[in-house]
Chain A
Amino acid sequence: MEAIGFGYLGAAIGIGLAALGCGIGMGILVGKSVEGMARQPEEANNIRTTMFIGIAFVEALALYALVVSFILIFK
């Protein structure tokens, strides 16, 4: 078992777990925002804007893990 193999394994597990967390988070986020848009259709534009900002934040966390896994692969 060499160190290079562990690097690849760590990268794969890392990005897998990050995608898992990101998926759960985005599912809750978009679900709640759709619910809000259904309760008050005249606020749909505001809710949609806030949803996009929330998606960007959640996706940024998953992308931190992607950057770390890139570093692990190419080192």
Chain B
Amino acid sequence: MDLMHHFELHPLIHLNFFGIDMSITKAVVMMWIVGALLLVSFIMAARSANLVPIGFQKIIEPILIFIRDEIVVGVMGKENIVWYPFITTIFFFVLLCNLIGLIPGSFTATSNICVTGALALIVFFCTHITGIYKHGLFKYVKGALVPGGVPPALLVVMVPIEIISHLLKPISLAVRLFANMVAGHSIILVFIFLIVFFKSFIVAPIPLSVAVVMSAFEIGVSFIQAYIFAILSAIYISDAIHVGH
């Protein structure tokens, strides 16, 4: 019973740029589909920019207002509204990548550690480059690594801990999303495998109903994980901007 081969990626078209393996795999195709879906739906929603929302705008506008009021203004403050498109992109990309994996026959792009690792790496570079740009290299490193109000004797212990915690933040961001997606889809796979395993029509509705329930739970988990990814990136970026207290 080996269900991990559902999560493996095999190249469909082999491409090789200067020794870096950039073959087109299932995950790449899924991410293209998600990107095209997002582009089409947002262009459709923005075309009729009425004050009172009608049509497709009705679905997307409350989510956008929620992201603006809770995540960007609530965490980063009104002057950092520049980050709003970035956080919105992260939220919708992660959400749609998670949700599209629930369609039978498709692949969840975020259930691969490379995809989530790349997203976490983007957030990592955003935080540190923003901090260095705003505060200067030395002041930013001093502010980030030395918590305020600590007696100097304790610094020998605190600074390595702070370094480790700063390095661990993007890793935990990536692993949280990856493990949630892999675990959720593995549970669905296990129950569908149970249907095949028993080979009888009478017993089949029991694993089927559990698989349906777990799929519904996966929809909730997708929303929550997308929200957590977005709000944690907002918190990390605001930590880099307001460093030193």
Contacts and interface: CB of A to CB of B under 8 A. Distances in A.
Contact of A52 (B4, B172, B183, B224): B224
A12 to B, nearest CB: 15
Contact of A63 (B175, B227, B231): B175
Nearest to A62: B179
A59 B176 contact: yes
A49 B4 CA distance: 34
Interface of A is mostly: helix
A4 B212 CA distance: 34
A60 B116 CA distance: 14
A66 B70 CA distance: 31
B192 interface: no
A49 to B, nearest CB: 7
B78 to A, nearest CB: 18
Contacts, number: 34
B225 A64 contact: no
Given A60-B175, A64-B175, A74-B4, A52 B228 contact: yes
A53 interface: yes
A55 B232 CA distance: 13
Given A52-B227, A52-B228, A60 B183 contact: no
9 contacts: A49-B70, A52-B227, A52-B228, A53-B231, A53-B232, A55-B224, A63-B176, A67-B179, A70-B4
Interface in B205-238: 224-225, 227-228, 231-232
Q: Interface residues of A toward B: which range?
A: 10 to 19
Contacts of A49: 70
A42 B79 CA distance: 27
B88 interface: no
B130 interface: no
Interface of B: 4, 70, 172, 175-176, 178-180, 182-183, 224-225, 227-228, 231-232
A66 B185 CA distance: 14
A3 interface: no
Given A59-B176, A64-B175, 12 more contacts: A53-B228, A53-B231, A56-B176, A56-B228, A59-B180, A60-B172, A63-B175, A63-B180, A66-B179, A66-B183, A67-B179, A70-B182
Contact of A56 (B4, B178, B183, B224): B224
4 smallest A-B Cβ distances: which pairs? A63-B179, A56-B228, A60-B176, A67-B179
A36 B28 CA distance: 45
Contacts of A63: 175-176, 179-180, 183
A75 to B, nearest CB: 11
A14 B229 CA distance: 26
Interface string A37-73: 0000000000001001101100110011011001000
A57 B121 CA distance: 19
A11 to B, nearest CB: 13
